[in-house]
Amino acid sequence: MQSIDPYTSHEVWTFDRVSRDIIASLMPTQLHHYTERGKEETCDLWKYLETHFALGTGETTPRIILRFLGLLTDSAAEYYRQNPDHATLQKNEEGHYAAFKVEHILTAYSELQSRMPNVFKSWVMNEDWQKYISILFSSKGKKDTFSFRVLKNMLSIDEADEAYAFLAYMTHLGALSCKDPGKKPEQRTYQLPVLLRYNWSTLC
């Protein structure tokens, strides 16, 4: 947690602390996390939020967070509808109510992942590029890192300039990140952010 400098304003720090307290009062602080090899690990809530919603740009958008929160609320509401005996919340040992359970978060995240290809397609006007996006997400399988040549062939793009332009725009949107932008375009490697990778969990 950020320390307070007595000689500077700490308003941002205060709001950050309050925001964290609100989130922690409703969500479990430990979640299930799956590595790129499908190994299940325990993941701290804050690390999960930091890594699982960032696009290739390293940032997320309010729309993505709001979509997730809507899906999370839907998942929890359905759970409590089917389990009315759990509808009354009790404080846990940490003094939190934890209205959202691990399963709710994983289910909502899974649904968010399934919707993201259409979100990116909605940000693109070029019909050919919309087709490329569909092919990318339907063909990527369990891989999250691709060379320029592999992507060009996967997407069946004939012209190198067309592939350069498409990949540059996808990098701009955050659907991909370029791991070595200093190299020539045909020698570059691209990676999907966690949000767009294969989902190893049966729940998320």
Q: CATH no. for residue 166?
A: 1.10.10.10
Q: Are residues 57 and 137 in the same domain?
A: no
Predicted pLDDT of residue 14:
52
Task: List pLDDT tens digits, range 14-70.
Answer: 556 667 777 877 888 888 767 666 677 888 888 888 889 999 999 999 999 999 999
pLDDT band at 1 (very low <50, low <70, confident <90, very high): very low
Q: Is 158 part of a structural domain of the chain?
A: yes
Task: Tell me whether residue 84 is in a domain.
Answer: yes
Which pLDDT score is estimated for 4?
47
**What pLDDT, on a 0 to 100 scale, did the predictor assign at position 202?**
46
Domain-located, residue 3:
no
- Examine the domain organization and report whether 70 and 129 are in the same domain: no
- Look at residue 36 in the predicted model and tell me its pLDDT: 67
Calculate the alpha carbon distances from 77 to 29, 45, 99, 105 in Å: 20, 21, 10, 12
CA distance 183 to 180: 6
Q: Can you tell me whether residue 146 is helix, strand or coil?
A: strand
Q: What is the pLDDT at residue 201?
A: 65
E strands, the chain, are: 30-34, 40-44, 145-147, 177-178, 189-191
Regarding whether 108 and 138 lie in a shared domain, the answer is no
Query: Quick one: 96 and 62 in the same domain?
Result: yes
Decide if 202 is inside a domain.
no
Question: Is residue 1 included in any domain, yes or no?
Answer: no
What pLDDT does residue 65 have? Answer: 92
pLDDT digits (tens, 9 = 90+) for 153-204: 999 999 999 999 999 999 999 999 999 999 999 999 999 999 999 887 644 3
Do 98 and 130 reside in the same domain of the chain? no
167 and 86, same domain (yes or no): no
- pTM assigned to the model: 0.83
Let me know if residue 52 belongs to a domain: yes
Q: Which domain holds residue 77?
A: 11-115
Average pLDDT over residues 131-135: 97
Tell me: do 100 and 139 sit in the same domain.
Answer: no
Question: Does 126 share its domain with 110?
Answer: no
Amino acid at 83: N
Residue range 58-117, pLDDT digits in tens: 999 999 999 999 999 999 999 999 998 887 777 777 777 778 988 999 899 999 999 999
Measure the CA angle with vertex 75, ends 108 and 28; round to 5°.
Answer: 70
| Number of domains into which the chain is organized | 2
**What pLDDT, on the 0 to 100 scale, is given for residue 81?**
92
The token duo for 110 is 């899974």
Last residue of a domain, one of 115, 150, 175: 115
pLDDT value of position 10: 47
Domain end call among 80, 115, 150: 115
Q: Which of 83, 115, 147 represents a domain boundary (last residue)?
A: 115
Do 96 and 166 share a domain, yes or no? no
